[in-house]
Amino acid sequence: MGRVALVTGGIRGIGESVSIKLTAKGYKVVANYCNNDQAAQQFTARTGISSLKFDVADKAAVEAGIASVEADFGPVDILINNAGITRDSTLHKMSPEQWSAVIDTNLTSCYNTCGAVIDGMRERRFGRIVNISSINGQAGQYGQVNYAAAKAGLIGFSKALALEGASRGITVNTIAPGYVDTDMVRAVPANVLEKIIATIPAGRLGTPDDIARAVLFLIDDEASFITGSTISVNGGQHMY
């Protein structure tokens, strides 16, 4: 197969699992990250998958990063927008920095990365874009107006871009994970997490592999009729 796939935030948590599963299926994967050089080195040593540092919120850095991926590996046919952060606070205490950091990293990033690959995908008449949203973008969450807005924004972004890409062989879909056992969720206080797990009909947190399996399904060459969809992967916690 050998299509080139870029996974943002691809060295840890959900992104790590996506990078590993795509590699196992024969995709040439580049895993992006932003800060954690040590984790990136360990990831590459452990998996043999290339890692590449750039900040997805920085348009110029994204363009340079994607240009270097394309020079080294070939055109990016598959883009998984997975990088994300939280900066939780209730609105009345939320600083402009908390708002902007989350919007820039979780939503503007998608404009940056998609913008850097879309012309090539249109020319080649093939592309698969998967944007990782969240249950909290669908249902809202106390203390997360920034995160919920960014994650809901990804759903609208994906539907609009799906319309633009449909006649060119480009699909754009969103996955909305529920609570998944990664560093992001381990930062939630144990007593709060216990209450959250009690609301999950499946009775457990998701695993990164639960999400990666949905990514694999959506990026298949044969998944060409699935576009503009949002797939919830949440153990039954939110259905609508």
Residues that bind ligand NDP (CB under 6 A): 8-9, 11-15, 32-36, 39, 55-57, 82-85, 105, 132, 134, 177, 179-180, 182-185
* C-beta separation of 128 from 218 below 8 A: yes
Q: Quick one: which H or E segment has residue 157?
A: helix 145-165
**Judged by CB, which is closer to ligand NDP: 100, or 169?**
100
Distance separating alpha carbons of residues 40 and 169, to the nearest angstrom: 33
**Judged by CB, which is closer to ligand NDP: 56, or 218?**
56
**Judged by CB, which is closer to ligand NDP: 183, or 221?**
183
Token look-up 């452990």 returns: 46
Q: Can you give the three-state secondary structure of 35-50, one letter per residue?
A: CCHHHHHHHHHHHCCE
Minimum separation from the CB atom of position 73 to ligand NDP (A): 18
Q: Which backbone phi and psi does 162 adopt, to 5 degrees?
A: -60, -40
Distance separating alpha carbons of residues 151 and 38, to the nearest angstrom: 28
Distance separating alpha carbons of residues 10 and 53, to the nearest angstrom: 10
Minimum separation from the CB atom of position 161 to ligand NDP (A): 17
Minimum separation from the CB atom of position 54 to ligand NDP (A): 7
Minimum separation from the CB atom of position 18 to ligand NDP (A): 9
Distance separating alpha carbons of residues 214 and 235, to the nearest angstrom: 13
**Judged by CB, which is closer to ligand NDP: 27, or 54?**
54
Give the active site residues.
Answer: 147
Which two structure tokens, joined as six digits, stand for 76? 């990016």
